[in-house]
Structure 1
Amino acid sequence: MKNQLDTQPVEKKMSWYTLALMAFTAVWGFGNVINGFSEYNGLKAIVAWIIIFALYFVPYALMVGELGSAFKDAEGGVSSWIMQTIGPRMAYYAGWTYWVVHMPYISQKPNSVMIASSWAIFQDARISDMNPLVMQFAGLAIFLVALALASRGLSILKKLASVAGMASFVMSILYILLMMAAPAITGAKTLQIDWSLQTFMPTFDLKFFTGLSILIFAVGGCEKLSPYVNRMKNPSKDFSTGMIALAVMVCVCAVLGTIAMGMMFDSNNIPKDLMTNGAYYAFATLGEYYHVGNVFVIAFALTNAISQFTVMILSIDAPLCILLGSADKEYIPKSLFVQNKYGAYTKGHKMVLVIVGILIVVPAFGIGSVDELVRWLVKVNSVCMPLRYLWVFVAYIALKKAGNAFPSAYHFVKNKTVGIIFGAWCFIVTAIACIGGIYSDEPFELILNILTPVVLVLLGFIMPYIAKHQNARDLS
């Protein structure tokens, strides 16, 4: 007779390379290459990417590993870390920040859906000639459809988002491989790259530093990987190995992707609509090289349209569930916890509707072209989204200050002071990047860049007072 313990299921442990590959698909995307190439004058983006990976991304990812290991049973992510290291009020602010920075992100998605759909149908850049006001109101209609679907809690959307996202990711990697191989396989006449230092060395001026927010926005989000730390075969070794492997893979893809773009686009004459249409230009040209017509661009456009639409729906619901699912009702009005029969937070969705609706409509009245609108949306997201990363570093600093109060199977650094310095470094870099990203030559865009993060964050300070008033009224 077998021992009863022998019949117990054994949890399958994750290897470092499995973690690295899984993280790679979650963190990286082809749009990051396009944005970096556009913002940093083509091939000069390579040095900027390497700097960000070495001085920011690697320590950031490894800090997340230690936090995930120390709080392995915490389900609320960053807000749970703050709850245990600092307290409930700061945990609420962390949760609010995580949720509210998704509002500009959601407002960007309808444009992405329309651009991808236009390329799938017409295979050209006519979307850039569209009136921004018309585009934004059409985008508002798309957002309303997404909001209606989110309120019905359609679980199939998660699977669809995963499949479409993976397809877009695979095509992005294929672009790099096929583009690099095109001259040898098809004899394609690509641009000749001057491999001198001058070609790759950026100018460390104001533009360089105000553009860092776009790169930090691109590499952020590692905190999503924290639950996997304690599923590793050897957490103290394998997680750090996996994160370093992730950093290497992302860095290699950023560098090779930028070189591939440099073989197709002149770094000294970058198209003004590159952020809008760059990915589609790339796949259209690749189709010409391989004599397959518009097959590549249509396939990428279709998968990207589906991916962007489903991500928009999930971004409406998932961050809200995280905020309300782990929130202290002392800080959030109880009316926001009302759910419909599908489990969706109806009042929360109305709040999303108001905020995102404003973010979609207002810019169209002051930004004169679709290309400029797309560029602004990327920029404002690069200012707002990294604000949530700040709480990761706050949590890490608090963890190191707590000493041995929270045991961890994995340590980025064991020395308390060194750990605090690393946390402070990443916090300062993120904060400076966000502040620098606000700058714009256009007064209207500058005002929006200032007001958007300030108003979104300040809304979080209002909620506890509303909750306090409602709770007091209920007790009276």
Structure 2
Amino acid sequence: MSDASNAKTFRWWNIALLGFTTVWGLNNVINNFANQGLAVVTSWILIMVLYFVPYTLMVGQLGSAFQEAGGGVSSWVKALSNNKLAYFAAWTYWVVHVPYLAQKPQIIMVSLSWLFKGNGSFIKTASPLVVQGASLIIFLLFVWLASKGTATLNNLGSIAGIAMFAMSMLFIILGVSAPFITHVQIATPNMTDIHTYIPKFDFQYFTTISMLVFAVGGSEKISPYVNKTKNASKEFPLGMIILAVMVAVSAILGSFAIGMIVNSNHIPADLMANGAYQAFQFLGNSFHVGNLFVWAFAITNTIASAAALAISIDAPLRMLLGDADKKYIPKGLLKKNKRGVAINGYKLTAILVSILIIVPALGINVMNDLYNWLLNLNSIVMPMRYLWVFLAYMMLCRQLDKFKSDYMFVKNRYVGFGFGLWAFFLTAFACILGMVPKMNMATDPSSWWFQLALNIITPIALIALGLILPAIAKRTNNELDEI
């Protein structure tokens, strides 16, 4: 009894802080401001209330109901349905990292260009084919490094994660205070006009929701801590609500800060790639410290991206091969080298990511458009894994008598199912409309259609491969067993 009590050492503030560092970052603010301008302030409030809070509380109940599963989505699906669905959940969790891995080399190169050149000319002048060729070399180098072990990079990633969090907070504090301390001119006119913050709810607006969903996703990583929380039924939801408030305040204040530095009515095309650096450069000049903030952010972003690249090559693959039923995975993928690395799994990862690095450069002729497209592709593909969280929650609501938990989001199974269905629908809706390219079609029609084709083909191809593997496994595994 005492051991169980002692184990429940997390309090609501621990949960809130842990969740905040897990799901939030400065780029979430920059990317969504680039899509919507200061109208994103209203969008942040809506997405927090209608999506993020229910999402985190559903995750809390799932984590509490399956505390022995370690919080893995595929484990939840397996307990609630069958091994085949669990395999597809594990596959989705792994395969959505392919676009994520494809963009990390780009981010590293942008960071290094700001570190050594002190400006954003790289993203404007570089050849897409040259950059993607260099991205491929960087990626393959990290595949090799990951095959040797990721412990050092993991530790560096933790340090860089804390530093990135600190830089995000520093940006908000300096950005909001700069006009009052240094008397610089506010870039966006009419910041006191309420109409500046009201989105135009048209088709173009709804194509940008996927980036908001992408920004607030990932709270399932906190689920293992539900049962380590003291008085979980009260303190966990309180921590999640405080987390939502913290994220909302950071998003809103961050958007205000960018609006003071960048004119919301004339958003630069390269804001997603260069926005954070330009903002830190502006603040550095305003506070008379030159490029100090730029250098700090560039170094932090480079280390964090490098660590995330190496870790994300290995960790999702381990989850796929470790959690999924082996009869759905060809035995060749399970082969390990002397360091315990699934070497053929690494090769599959390398092939898929290499295709996604090179093919887009053949049809997207401007580097900034390529950078923005790949970031948008991430916002389409990555939320696909959240669909399994909501499906698991809906299945849990139908089996409440069988799976008890210390913490309940809602006690009525029908209301709970409704929340899960709503979140599932909103995520799917955002992913589908997010496929529409964000560039102006009139500027380069062929590039627009090429991007649309890739946005549709890529998720379908990634899902289709997951459907094909069990058939390959059924044939090859039996042949191997006979040998």
- TM class by shorter-chain length? over 0.9
User: Residue 168 of structure 1: CA displacement?
Assistant: 1.4
Choose which of 331, 340, 345 in structure 2 pairs with 1:343: 340
Deviations 1:344-388 (A, max 9, x none): 110000000000000000111111111111110111111100000
What is the aligned partner in structure 1 of residue 470 from structure 2? 464
Q: How does 1:42-441 map to 2 (within 5 A)?
A: 42-75=37-70, 77-128=72-123, 129-191=125-187, 193-440=190-437, 441=441
CA distance in 1, matches of 2:2, 2:293: 52
- Aligned residues of 1:193 and 1:263 also touching (Cα < 8 A): no
Deviations 1:110-135 (A, max 9, x none): 00000001001111012121001100
CA distance in 2, matches of 1:76, 1:35: 29
User: Residue 8 of structure 1: CA displacement?
Assistant: 10
- Aligned residues of 2:115 and 2:299 also touching (Cα < 8 A): yes
Question: Alignment length, in residue pairs?
Answer: 471
Match of 2:149, SS?
coil
Unaligned segments of structure 2, at least 5 residues: 442-447
Partner AA of 2:52 in structure 1: F
What is the aligned partner in structure 1 of residue 13 from structure 2? 17
Choose which of 19, 27, 31 in structure 2 pairs with 1:31: 27
CA distance in 2, matches of 1:475, 1:296: 59
User: Residue 183 of structure 1: CA displacement?
Assistant: 2.6
CA distance in 2, matches of 1:338, 1:152: 16
CA distance in 1, matches of 2:302, 2:481: 49
Partner AA of 2:172 in structure 1: I
Choose which of 457, 460, 480 in structure 2 pairs with 1:454: 460
Q: TM-score, normalised by structure 1?
A: 0.97
What is the aligned partner in structure 1 of residue 445 from structure 2? none
Q: Which runs of 4+ in 1 moved over 2 A?
A: 5-12, 183-194
Match of 2:75, SS?
helix
User: Residue 12 of structure 1: CA displacement?
Assistant: 5.3
Partner AA of 2:12 in structure 1: W
Query: Quick check: 421-430 or 125-134, which moved more?
Result: 125-134
CA distance in 1, matches of 2:160, 2:380: 27
Q: 1:7 to 1:38 in 2, by over 3 A?
A: closer
CA distance in 1, matches of 2:9, 2:341: 34
CA distance in 2, matches of 1:181, 1:241: 30
- Aligned residues of 2:64 and 2:407 also touching (Cα < 8 A): yes
- Aligned residues of 1:158 and 1:314 also touching (Cα < 8 A): yes
CA distance in 2, matches of 1:384, 1:449: 9
Q: 1:76 to 1:337 in 2, by over 3 A?
A: farther
- Aligned residues of 1:111 and 1:135 also touching (Cα < 8 A): yes
Match of 1:330, SS?
helix
CA RMSD of aligned residues (A): 1.4
CA distance in 2, matches of 1:475, 1:23: 45
Match of 2:68, SS?
coil
Query: Quick check: 271-280 or 189-198, which moved more?
Result: 189-198
- Aligned residues of 1:43 and 1:267 also touching (Cα < 8 A): yes
User: Residue 90 of structure 1: CA displacement?
Assistant: 0.1
Query: Quick check: 73-82 or 311-320, which moved more?
Result: 73-82
User: Residue 181 of structure 1: CA displacement?
Assistant: 1.4
- Aligned residues of 1:76 and 1:326 also touching (Cα < 8 A): no
Partner AA of 2:182 in structure 1: T
CA distance in 2, matches of 1:382, 1:6: 45
CA distance in 2, matches of 1:434, 1:163: 32
- Aligned residues of 1:76 and 1:322 also touching (Cα < 8 A): no
Unaligned segments of structure 1, at least 5 residues: none
Partner AA of 2:464 in structure 1: L
CA distance in 1, matches of 2:175, 2:58: 35
